[in-house]
Amino acid sequence: MTRALDAIVIDAGPNGLSAAIALAREGFSVLVYEAARTAGGGFRSEALTEPGFTHDVCATVFALALASPFLKSLPLADHGLTFAHPEAPFAHPLDDGSAVLVHRSIAESAAGLDAVDARAYQRLMTPIVDRSEALMEAQLGPIRVRHPLLMASFGLKAIQSATGFAQRRFSGLRARAMFAGAAAHGVVPLEYAATAGYALGLLLAAHSVGWPVVRGGSQHAADAMVSYLRSLGGEVVTGERIDSLDQLPSSRVVLCDVTPRQFLSIAGGRVPAGYRRRLERYRYGPGVFKVDWALNAAVPWRAADCARAGTLHLGGTLEEIAAGERAAWLGDVSNRPYVLAVQPTRFDSTRAPAGRHTLWAYCHVPHGCEVDMTPVIEAQIERFAPGFRDCISTSQSMGPAMLERRNANLIGGDISGGAADLAQIFARPVASVTPYATAIDGVYLCSSSTPPGVGGHGMCGYYAAQAAIAKLARP
Ligand SMILES: Cc1cc2nc3c(=O)[nH]c(=O)nc-3n(C[C@H](O)[C@H](O)[C@H](O)COP(=O)(O)OP(=O)(O)OC[C@H]3O[C@@H](n4cnc5c(N)ncnc54)[C@H](O)[C@@H]3O)c2cc1C
Cis-peptide, bond into residue 475, ω within 30° of zero: no
117-150 residues labelled b (16+ CB within 10 A) or e (exposed): bbebbbebbeebbebeeebbebbbbbbeeeeeeb
Q: Which amino acid is at 145?
A: V
* Cα distance from N-terminal residue to C-terminal residue, the chain: 21
Q: Is the pLDDT of residue 41 over 90?
A: yes
CA of 14 to the centre of ligand 1 (A): 7
Q: What is the mean pLDDT of residues 54-59?
A: 98
Mean pLDDT of 442-458: 97
Instruction: Please tell me the distance between residue 462's alpha carbon and the centre of ligand 1 in angstroms.
Output: 15
Q: Ligand 1 atom 7: the closest Cα is on which residue?
A: 59
Res 2 pLDDT > 60 = no
Pocket test for ligand 1, best of 409, 416, 454, 460 (most atoms within 8 A of CB): 409
Residue 1 has pLDDT above 50, yes or no: no
Residue nearest to atom 49 of ligand 1 (CA): 41
pLDDT tens digits, 357-394: 999 999 999 999 999 999 999 999 999 999 999 999 99
From residue 462, alpha-carbon distances to 19, 32, 46, 233, 437 in Å are 5, 15, 27, 18, 13
The residue contributing the CA closest to ligand 1 atom 52 is 58
Task: Determine the Cα–Cα distance for residues 363 and 332; give it in Å rounded to an integer.
Answer: 13
Handedness of CA 46, 465, 33, 439 (dihedral sign): negative
CA of 290 to the centre of ligand 1 (A): 14
What is the pLDDT, as a whole number, of residue 149?
77
What sign for the dihedral angle of Cα 9, 11, 17, 19?
A: negative
Distance (Å) from CA 293 to ligand 1 centroid: 21
pLDDT in tens, 122-161: 999 999 999 999 899 888 876 555 677 777 889 999 999 9
- For β-strands 235-237 and 30-33, DSSP reports them as parallel
Residues with CB under 6 A from ligand 1: 10-16, 33-36, 41-42, 58-61, 64, 241-242, 257-258, 262, 288, 290, 362, 407-410, 415, 417, 447-448, 454-456
Q: Given its phi and psi angles, is residue 95 left (phi above 0), alpha (psi -120 to 50 degrees) or beta? A: alpha
Separation of 356 CA from ligand 1 center, angstroms?
28
Residue among 311, 403, 415 to mutate when testing ligand 1 (max atoms within 8 A of CB): 415
CA atoms within 13 A on the CB side of 77: 6
Q: How many CA atoms lie within 13 A of 122 on its CB side?
A: 13
* 474: pLDDT strictly greater than 90: no
Ligand 1 atom at minimal distance to the Cα of residue 416: 19
> What's the 43 CA to ligand 1 centre distance in angstroms?
7
What whole-number distance in Å separates Cα of residue 5 and Cα of residue 442? 13
Q: Which pLDDT value is given to residue 138?
A: 84
| Centre of ligand 1 from the C-alpha of residue 142, in Å | 20
- Tens of pLDDT, residues 3-13: 689 999 999 99
Neighbour-count burial for 3-15, b at 16+ CB within 10 Å, e otherwise = eebbbbbbbbbbb
Burial 70-80 (b: 16+ CB within 10 A, else e): bbeebebeebe
Q: How far apart are CA 457 and CA 109, in angstroms?
A: 25
pLDDT, tens digit, 9 for 90 and up, residues 91-128: 999 999 999 999 999 999 999 999 999 999 999 999 99
* Residue 245: CB atoms within 10 Å: 18
Percent of the residues in the chain that have a pLDDT greater than 90, as a whole number: 93
